[in-house]
Structures are given as structure tokens and as C-alpha cells.
Amino acid sequence: MANIVGVVTTIQGSVAGGAPIFYTKDREQLQKTAFLLEKVLDCAAHEVNEDLFIIVNRKS
């Protein structure tokens, strides 16, 4: 099963939970952070909405 290993968002307080949450200033910063996390974690970044990305690990 896929795991959410990170959450990136621009809206403070919009998400909560078990995965590490990264807050960014704006959408450009959001893309950059998600890109970095995707490369570092070997995971895929998916867009939930324009202000909220999740980093998903599909390798068990």
C-alpha cells in the first residue's frame, strides 16, 4: 500500500496528522519544496489541490 511520507502546503493549519508537514510561503516555493522532496525521497509528488501536495511512497 502507498504511504504518505510528507505533506507540503502553503496554508498554515490546513492539514494535520502523522506525516511531516512542510509550510511554504507561496505556490512557487511549494513546487520547489515538493520537487526537492520527490528527488530526495525517491517518491512521487501528487497535487491534492493547488495549495496542498502530498509525497507518496509506493515502494513497500
Out of 3, 35, 51, 60, name the contact with another protein by CB under 8 A. 35
Site residue total, another protein (CB under 8 A): 14
First to last CA, the chain: 7
Residue 13 C-beta: closest distance to another protein, Å: 21
Q: Does 53 bind another protein (CB under 8 A)?
A: yes
Q: Does 34 bind another protein (CB under 8 A)?
A: yes
Query: And the C-alpha cell for 15?
Result: 492539514
Q: Does 39 bind another protein (CB under 8 A)?
A: yes
Instruction: Tell me the one-letter amino acid at 4.
Output: I
CA geometry: angle 21, 22, 25, nearest 5 deg:
140
